[in-house]
């Protein structure tokens, strides 16, 4: 992945995480970001990536 593509994906991830954060239980943002980015790289839609990141984050939450 090139820098331009990664930067765009990080901005997309930030936007979706910003929607999740206000109602989310305490969590490490990095868990959500990582799961979202991996999901997008696997070909998931942004909506599916949000769901996947949320499931992952809630599973690993402290």
Confidence at residue 56, expressed as pLDDT on a 0 to 100 scale = 95
Mean pLDDT of the region 10-37: 94
Percent of the chain whose predicted confidence (pLDDT) is above 70: 98
Distances (CA, A) of 10 to 56, 59, 62: 18, 22, 24
Rounded-to-integer distance, Cα 44 and Cα 61, Å: 23
Confidence at residue 53, expressed as pLDDT on a 0 to 100 scale = 97
Q: Is the pLDDT assigned to residue 62 strictly greater than 70? A: no
Q: Give the residue from 7, 1, 55 showing the smallest Cα distance to 31.
A: 55
Mean pLDDT of all residues belonging to the chain: 94
Q: What confidence tens digit (pLDDT) does each residue in 28-39 have?
A: 999 999 999 999
Confidence at residue 61, expressed as pLDDT on a 0 to 100 scale = 80
């Amino acid at each position: 992945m090139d820098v331009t593509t990664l930067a765009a994906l990080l901005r997309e991830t930030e936007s979706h995480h910003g929607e999740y954060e206000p109602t989310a239980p305490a969590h490490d943002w990095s868990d959500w970001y990582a799961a979202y980015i991996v999901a997008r790289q696997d070909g998931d839609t942004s909506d599916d990536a949000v769901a996947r990141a949320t499931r992952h984050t809630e599973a690993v939450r402290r």
